[in-house]
Structures are given as structure tokens and as C-alpha cells.
A and B are shown apart, each in its own frame.
Chain A
């Protein structure tokens, strides 16, 4: 079974540019989560999809961040325009609708805004 995949693994952009991160969850997992870890700090929740619907987006920092999950499969997280403080590692995780509550994490995308 393929795990959660994320693309790209690393992105370096300039302040003011746009970046789109992609997450492919484990097939059949209805729940998809985005998290972010800014250097040296804890991993923080951004938002949660159940299928294509946003269940909880209380962790989204501001309206420069836009997440979508069209069709309830993969998800994208767009940052527009990027700011220096957006640098960090963005993790995606998925879990089944019914099951063990365990979230399966992807390898993360390291975003560097210069």
C-alpha cells in the first residue's frame, strides 16, 4: 500500500511569489490534514478535510493560504503571496473514516521563502 506522498519535497521561492504544495493521501482515506512546523517550534495543525469538505480550518494562519481537495482525493495548499514567516516544513497526513484514529504522515515539503 502506497503511503502519503507530497510534492515537491523542497521549494525555495522569493517573498511575494506563489507556491502550491500537493498531497496525495493513502487511497480510500477520507480524512486529510495539513500541518506546519516552523523551525524549532512544534508541529501545528492547519486544517482538516473530510472528503472534499473542510471540517476544521481553525489553524490556517491568514487568507494568503488556500487549501482545496477537489473530488476528495489529493489536496493542494497554495500560499499567495508568500512571506518570510511562511518558511517551514508542511506535513500532510491522512486517516480512514473508520478505524484506529492514527494519522499517517507524508514526508513533508520544506518551504523556504527568501
Chain B
């Protein structure tokens, strides 16, 4: 069965620290991969997405993610976090080629302290 795993449920960082959130997916075919973010009191919004091409994708607010096919991974990174990055982050996957359901990971709550 298709699944997405996020390695950390809670992460606490100080401002300016580097961030890496792990995501692994389980699917035999070609997938589209996404990171969504939910800031406190706001709705889910897309940070970045990978469909094909360059495995290093850049998103909004200085986030990037790297698709490593051999590891079935799509980790999210940011070199220097800010207090405003405090949010919950969701990795998601969907099979390529259709407008299919998203399979989400359990989410990672990030708290950034000033």
C-alpha cells in the first residue's frame, strides 16, 4: 500500500539553526511529491512540489527539498530558520499521471524559538 513516513513528529530549533525534515514514501511507480505547511490558525498551503526534472526543488520562503529516488526520500531543508517558520509541515505523495488523492505523512510540528 502507498504510504508516506515523516521521521520527526516534533522539532524544536533556535532561530538561525538549519532545518531538515525527513520524508520517505512507499510506492512502486512514479510519484509527484509535495510539502505543505500549516501555520497557526491558517489553512494548508503548498511549500514546494516535485514532478520531474531537477531533483532539487526550491519553494517559497527559502525552503528546498531534494528527491532521491534510490532512497525513496524527499527531505525538506532550510539553511536558517526564523521564528515565523513555526508551523506544522506535511509531506505528501500522489501517483503521477492523474488527479489523484494525496497520501500524507503524519506531519511534523516545528517550533522555532527566538
Contact = CB atoms under 8 A, between A and B. Distances in A.
Contacts of B106: 41-42
Contacts of B105: 42
Contact of A44 (B32, B46, B104): B104
Contact of A105 (B44, B51, B99): B44
Interface of B: 4, 32, 34, 36, 42-46, 49, 51, 90, 94, 99-107
A72 interface: no
B43 A48 contact: no
B43 A103 contact: no
A14 B97 CA distance: 42
Contacts, number: 53
B43 A108 contact: yes
B102 A45 contact: yes
A69 B30 CA distance: 30
Given A42-B107, A43-B90, A102 B49 contact: yes
A8 interface: no
A31 B100 CA distance: 9
Contacts of B43: 3-4, 105-108
A108 to B, nearest CB: 7
A67 B102 CA distance: 18
Interface residues of A, number: 28
Contacts of A91: 44
Interface string A84-114: 0000000101010100111111111000000
What 10 A-B pairs have minimum CB-CB distances, sorted nearest first? A45-B101, A105-B44, A43-B104, A107-B43, A42-B106, A42-B104, A31-B99, A105-B43, A102-B46, A101-B32
Contact of A101 (B4, B45, B94, B104): B94
Contacts of A74: none
